[in-house]
Amino acid sequence: MILPLFFIFCLFSSSQAAVQDFCVGNLTAPQGPAGYSCKDASKVTVNDFVFSGLGNPGNTSNLIKAAVTPAFAAQFPGVNGLGISFARLDLAPGGVVPFHTHPGGSEILVVVQGTILAGFVSSANTVYFKSLKKGDIMVFPQGLLHFQVNAGGTVAIAFVSFSSSSPGLQILDYALFGNNLPTELVAATTFLDTAQIKKLKGVLGGTG
């Protein structure tokens, strides 16, 4: 009985092995559910495996006083198909990344400057949050609502790793108030006052 089980294990393990070394994303082609199609191997260069955009601070002159500089497959084609990606987060004093989700992957954040209050909400509506300082790391499981807030009086910087080359992003505030969903329907599904909903729609660019 041991030998057949070992044989099955070997078959399963080999089925998970990559059939090619890499699949540098062909950014001229559409992105599908599995990512980008592979760039012609003869046209792949070392520059496809290098991203140099995370050394510069992002522009935090915006409503949320935050900036995310992504190194996802769309910006960094070398990670296409590898199940990994990276990003830089800049938070000015008072900056916040509102409740959002990454449907495509889990996230690990490491603080390299300042203090960041971060947390997430489980599917059981249990909240986990903590103030993070330089060197602290926090994980945010795939698909769960989470947030980051600058908890200090200076600029905060973090670097973020994802378990997907295209983790995706949906910000809750914009999902509710940054579109053309009718105000009455938003009110019915959120129990918010219509005047407040219209005010938020005006701030976030929504209509209806």
Q: Which residues are annotated as a binding site?
A: 100, 102, 107, 146
Radius of gyration of the chain (CA): 21
Q: Under a CB-based contact definition with an 8 Å cutoff, are residues 120 and 138 in contact?
A: no
Query: Count of CB atoms within 10 A of residue 16's CB?
Result: 6
In the annotated binding site for oxalate, the residues are 102, 107
CA–CA distance, 205 with 208 (Å, rounded to integer): 10
Angle at Cα 204 formed by Cα 164 and Cα 171, nearest 5°?
20
In the annotated binding site for Mn(2+), the residues are 100, 102, 107, 146
CA–CA distance, 78 with 91 (Å, rounded to integer): 27
CA–CA distance, 30 with 24 (Å, rounded to integer): 14
DSSP 8-state symbol, 64 = T
Q: What Cα–Cα distance (Å) separates residue 121 from each residue in 38, 72, 78, 131? A: 36, 25, 32, 15
Q: Under a CB-based contact definition with an 8 Å cutoff, are residues 111 and 136 in contact?
A: yes
Question: b/e for 170-187, b at 16 or more Cβ within 10 A?
Answer: ebebeebbbeebebeebb
